[in-house]
Structure 1
């Protein structure tokens, strides 16, 4: 890995570039259904930069009203404090909140804060469907015209 050291800054800049992130095929429709159902959505992230530009680049930022980036809280996931902070910002009780994540160990902090947690199945390629229909069922937004029982937190890296 030492041979990659001279490229580290360029690689990190590429990783941060919004155009290099590809949402899963079912992201847009899932977020729209959750938003239409009146479910409050937030992001809890442990990447080292603000993800709002990436979400905006893909037209997804309008769905979220809370952005909790661990680097601004001097801690990182799985610290339950991050998830509790998101709940406070969304004005929802942790017990009425669903955290959707992609890493069992890191996202397990949500359960420590009293949230329900759903870890997405691994292995979906960028641009493919990720199985987010399960999120709609868990959040009570799967039925047409069916109102959710409570607001939820949506997590994305």
Structure 2
């Protein structure tokens, strides 16, 4: 007999919401306010290089090296603009601070059309909801600003946990917060390895959200794959009915 479901855990970025416009465009908007004229494509490429480098050298916002999210992002922003021939240290610090604050605001984020209704339907099934996200500690403010925070019983960011997906430890910490066995928990996310494979490796029912029919994770059974969050409540209800 299947164990009743009690919790749904959620990834956030590119699952419930996404950046409203490209990083290059938003960084260029900030540079323009400082009197600089930069090309979004160049800035976007520079950002990707800076992000990859810092993620490799200082994974998970550098928590293990004594950094925090703001310090880590400040370094990424400065490295991005430095590659685009911006060298004034005061200007770099100002833009880094402004962008860190800007990305804390709801204006820079877009909630997917199916997010709120799906969260509401999951709650109506008497399921509790939590977040497990490779995000820094701005997440609470972002979800509040986007009108999503009230749906969740807890938020667990990788910065706060000190470990990031796909490591099992962050899911194990989430399970302790839920207080139920993994077979009573569902996890929903858009990343094949970090969300789907990682959650299922600890016994959680993982669902892969694949809005764009991505080729990654073709081995995922169709019953574990979602093309839209709208499909989730019916899947959960079916599971719950089979347990009753």
TM-score w.r.t. length of structure 1:
0.76
Report the CA distance between 1:47 and its aligned residue: 1.4
Match of 2:157 in 1: 69
1:114 is aligned to 2:203: yes
1:35-114 alignment to 2 at 5 Å?
35-107=123-195, 108-114=197-203
**Which of the residues 220, 229, 243 maps onto 1:132?**
229
Q: How far apart are residue 70 of structure 1 and its match?
A: 0.9
Q: TM-score of the superposition, structure 2-length normalised?
A: 0.51
Larger radius of gyration between Structure 1 and Structure 2: 2
Moved over 2 A (4+): 4-19, 146-150
C-alpha displacement of 1:4 = 7.6
**Uncovered stretches (5+) of structure 1, i.e. residues with no partner:** 125-129, 151-157
Match of 1:21 in 2: 109
Distance in 2 (CA, whole Å) between partners of 1:8 and 1:149 is: 51
Unaligned runs of 5+ in 2: 1-45, 47-82, 87-91, 214-226
Alpha-carbon contact 1:98-1:115 (below 8 Å) kept? yes
Q: How far did 1:147 drift?
A: 6.8
Q: Answer 1 or 2: which has greater helix percent.
A: 2
Q: 2:242 and 2:108 mapped to 1: Cα distance?
A: 34
**In the alignment, is the contact (CA less than 8 A) between 1:34 and 1:141 conserved in 2?**
no
Which structure has the higher relative contact order (CA within 8 Å, separation 6+)? 1
Deviations 1:60-105 (A, max 9, x none): 2121102111111221110112112212212222112110001112
Q: Offset at 1:137?
A: 2.4
User: SS at the partner of 2:187?
Assistant: strand
| Number of aligned residues | 142
1: CA distance, partners of 2:203 / 2:187: 10
